[in-house]
Amino acid sequence: MQALTELLPHPEHLKFQSLQLDQDREQSTLVVASTQLTNQCPVCRHTSHQIHSHYQRTVSDLPWAKYRIVIALRVHKFFCRNQACERRIFTERLPELVAPGARRTQRLDEQLSEIALALGGAAGARLSRKLGCDVSRTTLLRLILQLPLPQLVTPKTLGVDDFSFRRRQTYGTLLVDLDQHRPIAILPGREAQTLASWLQQHPGVETLSRDRSKIYKRGMNEGAPGVTQVADRFHLMQNLASVLEQVLSSHSKDLKAAQVNYRLAQGQTQVPNACLIVPDEPPPDVAAQPSAHRQQRGALHQQVWKLYNQGWSSAAIAHQVGMSLRTVQRDLRKPNYAPVYPRGSGKRSIEAYKDYLQQRCASGQRPKGLMQELRQLGYRGSERSLQRALQQLRQAKVIAPKRLPLNQVFPKVVKPLLSSLTPSRLS
Query: Would you say the C-alpha torsion 258, 263, 268, 272 has a positive or negative sign?
Result: negative
Q: Supply the minimum distance, in Å, between the C-beta of residue 51 and Zn ion.
A: 15
Q: Supply the minimum distance, in Å, between the C-beta of residue 73 and Zn ion.
A: 23
Q: Is residue 44 near Zn ion by the rule CB under 5 A? A: yes
Q: Supply the minimum distance, in Å, between the C-beta of residue 55 and Zn ion.
A: 19
Strands 51-64 and 274-275 come out as unpaired
Measured from the CB atom, the residue of 41 and 199 that comes closer to Zn ion is 41
Size of the site for Zn ion (CB under 5 A): 8
Q: Supply the minimum distance, in Å, between the C-beta of residue 93 and Zn ion.
A: 12
Collapsed DSSP state (helix, strand, coil) of residue 356: helix
Measured from the CB atom, the residue of 86 and 281 that comes closer to Zn ion is 86
Q: Supply the minimum distance, in Å, between the C-beta of residue 97 and Zn ion.
A: 21
Geometric angle at alpha carbon 197, from 194 and 203, rounded to 5°: 135
Distances (CA, A) of 273 to 60, 260, 263: 81, 13, 11
Residues 51-110 interacting with Zn ion (rule: CB under 5 A): 80, 82, 85, 87
Residues 240-299 interacting with Zn ion (rule: CB under 5 A): none
Give residue 136's identity as a one-letter amino acid code.
S
At residue 409, φ and ψ (nearest 5 deg) are -95, 120
Q: Supply the minimum distance, in Å, between the C-beta of residue 39 and Zn ion.
A: 11
Measured from the CB atom, the residue of 87 and 217 that comes closer to Zn ion is 87
Distances (CA, A) of 189 to 80, 159, 240: 48, 16, 27
| Beta carbons within 10 angstroms of residue 206's beta carbon | 12
Measured from the CB atom, the residue of 39 and 209 that comes closer to Zn ion is 39
Q: How far apart are CA 85 and CA 67, in angstroms?
A: 44
Measured from the CB atom, the residue of 21 and 37 that comes closer to Zn ion is 37
Closest of 81, 146, 143 to residue 112, by C-alpha: 143
| Beta carbons within 10 angstroms of residue 405's beta carbon | 9
Q: Please identify which residue in 41, 98, 135, 176 interacts with Zn ion, judged by CB under 5 A.
A: 41
Q: Identify whether the C-beta of residue 15 lies closer than 8 Å to the C-beta of residue 33.
A: yes
Q: Supply the minimum distance, in Å, between the C-beta of residue 94 and Zn ion.
A: 18
Q: Supply the minimum distance, in Å, between the C-beta of residue 119 and Zn ion.
A: 42
Q: Supply the minimum distance, in Å, between the C-beta of residue 96 and Zn ion.
A: 21
Listed in sequence order, the DSSP H helices in 170-213 are 192-201
Q: How far apart are CA 28 and CA 68, in angstroms?
A: 6
Q: Among the candidate windows 44-52, 301-309, 334-342, 400-408, which touches Zn ion by CB under 5 A?
A: 44-52
Q: Among the candidate windows 34-42, 141-149, 200-208, 387-395, which touches Zn ion by CB under 5 A?
A: 34-42
Q: Which residues pair with 231 in a beta bridge?
A: 210
Q: Among the candidate windows 35-43, 94-102, 168-176, 349-357, which touches Zn ion by CB under 5 A?
A: 35-43
Listed in sequence order, the DSSP H helices in 230-281 are 233-249, 252-270
Q: Identify whether the C-beta of residue 117 lies closer than 8 Å to the C-beta of residue 144.
A: yes
Measured from the CB atom, the residue of 87 and 388 that comes closer to Zn ion is 87
Give residue 205's identity as a one-letter amino acid code.
V
Measured from the CB atom, the residue of 35 and 47 that comes closer to Zn ion is 47
Binding mask 179-198 for Zn ion (x = CB under 5 A): --------------------
Measured from the CB atom, the residue of 34 and 39 that comes closer to Zn ion is 39
Measured from the CB atom, the residue of 77 and 235 that comes closer to Zn ion is 77
What residues make contact with Zn ion under the rule CB under 5 A? 41, 43-44, 46, 80, 82, 85, 87
